[in-house]
Amino acid sequence: EPEVTQTPSHQVTQMGQEVILRCVPISNHLYFYWYRQILGQKVEFLVSFYNNEISEKSEIFDDQFSVERPDGSNFTLKIRSTKLEDSAMYFCASRADRDHYGYTFGSGTRLTVV
Amino acid sequence: QKEVEQNSGPLSVPEGAIASLNCTYSDRVSQSFFWYRQYSGKSPELIMSIYSNGDKEDGRFTAQLNKASQYVSLLIRDSQPSDSATYLCAVNNNQGGKLIFGQGTELSVKP
């Protein structure tokens, strides 16, 4: 079964450093998302991406965050200057088309900011 | 604030019983409804989607939707210990596909 692949599975970074979280969505999917889940809390929407541009973003997705689909297969989330409160699981997700809203989530990247 | 509410549990049922999980949502224009299962430390896994009022069955799982009451439920028949997980209700209300998740209900199935 096709999978959404995320790397790394765990990243530890120092506060103030930049991190890039990587995702390879399912190949024929058109819509891409990033979510995060702080330990013990809800899964929260960050951003959606379609046709090479952001289609929606949440209040969490401020100027410190950016997304990119540099080569038609990878989908990245960059955090420019990490804060302690950015520590969370980050999930990438993708879906095929407008009529199928059920996402496939990747296995996640656990980001720990120290 | 558009919210999705679930009882956090834990909900404990004996093996073989029916587990009933409930979810309410606040945005009346919500269009699509999902149940995800999440094991500890893992990513959410889609188990059911439902788009119209009524029941939808898939194996041991039945999703029920009542848009008038803004209520979604998930029934798990013949519960197994492997069903022990947190069940997340998620709602979509726009074409962009953004999902709003509830807090999740922790289910424990005792052998």
pLDDT over threshold 90, residue A21: yes
Contact: A91, B43; criterion CB under 8 Å: yes
3-state secondary structure chain B: CCCEECCCCCEEEECCCCEEEEEEECCCCCCEEEEEEECCCCCCEEEEEECCCEEEEECCEEEEEECCCCEEEEEECCCCHHHCEEEEEEEECCCCCCEEECCCEEEEEEC
Which is more confidently placed, A100 or A58? A58
Percent of chain A at pLDDT exceeding 70: 96
CA dihedral over B106, A108, B59, B82, signed as positive or negative: negative
pLDDT over threshold 90, residue B78: yes
Which is more confidently placed, A98 or B6? B6
Mean pLDDT over A30-48 rounds to 95
| Chain B interface disruption, residue of A30, A101, A105, most B CBs within 10 A | A101
Q: What is the pLDDT of residue A101?
A: 67
The overall average pLDDT reported for chain A is 93
Closest alpha carbon within chain B to A3: B45
Contact A77, A65 (CB under 8 A): yes
Mean pLDDT over B1-8 rounds to 84
pLDDT over threshold 70, residue A99: no
CA dihedral of A57, A58, A63, A68, whole degrees rounded to 10: -30
Q: Rounded CA gap, A11 and B103, in Å?
A: 25
Q: Rounded CA gap, A110 and B82, in Å?
A: 24
The amino acid at residue B89 is C
Q: What is the pLDDT of residue B66?
A: 96
Q: Does A7 touch chain B (CB under 8 A)?
A: no
Residue numbers in A near B45 (CB within 8 A): 105
Contact: B32, A50; criterion CB under 8 Å: no
pLDDT over threshold 70, residue A98: no
Query: Distance (Å) from the C-alpha of residue B50 to the closest C-alpha of chain A?
Result: 10
The overall average pLDDT reported for chain B is 93
Q: What is the pLDDT of residue A53?
A: 93
